Amino acid sequence: MNKRPLPGSTHSDSELLGEATWTVSELATDFKPRWRHANKIAVALLATPPNALHDGEVRASRWRGAGAPEILCTPESIVPKRGFFTYPEPSADDDTTHWHLNFADPFLFGYGEGSLLAQDELQITEHPCLASVAYAIESGLHGQGGLTRRTQEGGEATPVLIEGAPRRCSLDTTHLYGDLFGGASTNQVQAATKVLNPPTRSNILALAALRPSFGEYTEEQIRELFMIAHAGSSAIVRRSGRATLHTGHWGCGAFGGNKGLVAAIQLLAAGTAGVERVCFWWGHTGLDHSSLEHAIAVAERLNGSTLEDAVGRLTRARYCWGEANENHVPYEPPKCCLLADVQGRPPESDFSGPSLG
């Protein structure tokens, strides 16, 4: 089980917009998921049969974004991870709370019950109580006016944290990811489903990425992207103190974000907020990890910079938006990337970064 948030975490009332706690039994009984596709129903029948036990509690909280920092820094530890999201058991000497990013829509957990199986939908399928939490929040019965199903409000990020969500199954997505899930047979889906009994527990950070665009990234977009990522990382540090964040190529699938730029900004935002460790799940191929290798180098170059200096340098590098779902193509950083223009530092082609395994 992932470690529960540390006692004594501090925050001000102005930072916490609202929070509520439900028993897992209450969520399963009063706010049942509304699966809208036969294959999601097939998974649910395996993972949450009628006799399933529903122990423990789940807490949801919604947070304001943090203010702009003065100086940027990288996390103490960056751990590249091969593959897509899994939920490993923390080691016995790990005193951090583990959080897993949900690649959220601004409407929290709004699409996980349909035919698609991208990162957000996969997380909901494996943690069906996330759909239940969304309905529980929407009901308003918790009496917390600031706790709503919105991860953005008034142009600002409002990350939502879910603590203690039961993960009831593990789904092998090798042949089922994305649109493939909806067209698969029931037998294929059931064969790919491993029931977790008892379920493990996960802490989820739901955060919508920068809305998609095209052409070169503007200064405003790069600053906004940093502030969104910083808001999410700041929320988990406020809640739990010492934190490990599991993330990946957030906003770089259907949204077409630039993998190298977005990963670099995530690393800097996490480190600046005080996240101790970032575990970055980069995929399975060399094409997938090349962008992370670039991002680590960029983040190291910008460590100690002011926010405005970093934004300016990244803007001048002329990073470009990609195509939607351009997931497995060679990563090509801009020719004028800042790795080549730092006095006394080698250009990117000479960079020898950490081994990604």
- Higher-pLDDT residue of 328 and 123 is 123
User: Looking at the whole model, is its pTM more than 0.75?
Assistant: yes
Boundaries of domain holding 193: 16-350
The answer to the question of residue 255 being in a domain is yes
Q: What is the pLDDT of residue 284?
A: 73
Provide mean pLDDT across the span 163-167.
97
Distance of alpha carbon 315 from alpha carbon 310, whole angstroms: 8
Provide mean pLDDT across the span 2-28.
71
CATH number at residue 346: 3.40.220.10
In the 3-class helix/strand/coil scheme, how is 94-120 assigned residue by residue?
CCCEEEEEEEECCECCCCCCCCCECHH
The answer to the question of residue 184 being in a domain is yes
The answer to the question of residue 220 being in a domain is yes
Return the biggest CA–CA distance within the chain.
65
- Number of folded domains in the chain? 1
The answer to the question of residue 355 being in a domain is no
The answer to the question of residue 298 being in a domain is yes
Q: What is the pLDDT of residue 350?
A: 31
The answer to the question of residue 301 being in a domain is yes
The answer to the question of residue 9 being in a domain is no
Q: What is the pLDDT of residue 51?
A: 87
326 confidence band (pLDDT: 50, 70, 90):
low
pLDDT of 4 over the 90 cut: no
Provide mean pLDDT across the span 213-231.
96
Report helix angle 119-126 to 129-139, nearest 10. Answer: 90
Average pLDDT, the chain: 88
Q: Position 9: which residue type?
A: S
288 confidence band (pLDDT: 50, 70, 90):
confident
The answer to the question of residue 268 being in a domain is yes
Provide mean pLDDT across the span 67-74.
95
Q: What is the pLDDT of residue 82?
A: 87
